[in-house]
Structure 1
Amino acid sequence: MTDFTQTQHDLLYPIRQWLEAIEIHNIKLAQFLCKLIPSQCPFERNIIFGRKQIHIPPMCKLNPLYDELVGLRFRAMCFLAEN
């Protein structure tokens, strides 16, 4: 599939492009992003009801923007490490 056909079918493509284009030039913004975006998926849980256990899978894998958000957090961490 070419890049053009992916953009036709991907409704989140403009948001993906916007997240990828964010440049971090401010320490406060970098700190905010590192606090806002978790370093690991916080949603995976095992819930026990009496004798039964229900496993809730990590929701991060279901988030269609997960890779872009993790990349943004990584860029923020790199900015903080350099400054």
Structure 2
Amino acid sequence: MQTTVNNYPQNLIDILLQPGRNLINRIDINNPKFAQKLCQLIPAQCPFARDVKFLGRTILQIPPLCKLNPFYYEIISLRFRALTFLADVCLEDITPYC
């Protein structure tokens, strides 16, 4: 059975994962060291996309698997909030994290 909350269809898995998503979304970024650590730990790009080559020819392409992570958008949003905090509040150069 699917229910609709805020015009987003939700199934049982979405409903079960919602507390974890809410927990990530409620993380407050107010410490420069914490924001820097988040930017270092959360990669800017999905690191899982790979081309498997043999003798210079691509024999297999592995697509990025990040979007299979049920918390992908929340984690990317957390990284963005950390970057924004460092740039806007701390006036730090964020290019090392990009």
Which residue of 2 is the match for residue 71 of structure 1? 77
Structure with the greater relative contact order (CA < 8 A, sep ≥ 6): 1 or 2?
1
- CA shift, 1:52, in A, is 6.1
| TM-score of the two chains, using structure 2 as the length reference | 0.74
Query: More helix by proportion, 1 or 2?
Result: 1
Aligned pairs, number? 82
| TM-score of the two chains, using structure 1 as the length reference | 0.87
Gaps of 5+ in 2: 91-98
Calculate the aligned-residue CA RMSD, in Å: 2.0
Gaps of 5+ in 1: none
> Relative to 1, partners in 2 of residues 1:48 and 1:79: Cα closer, same or farther, differing over 3 Å?
same
Q: Percent identity?
A: 52
Deviations 1:30-68 (Å, cap 9, x if unpaired)? 001000100111110011245661111101121111100
Query: More strand by proportion, 1 or 2?
Result: 2
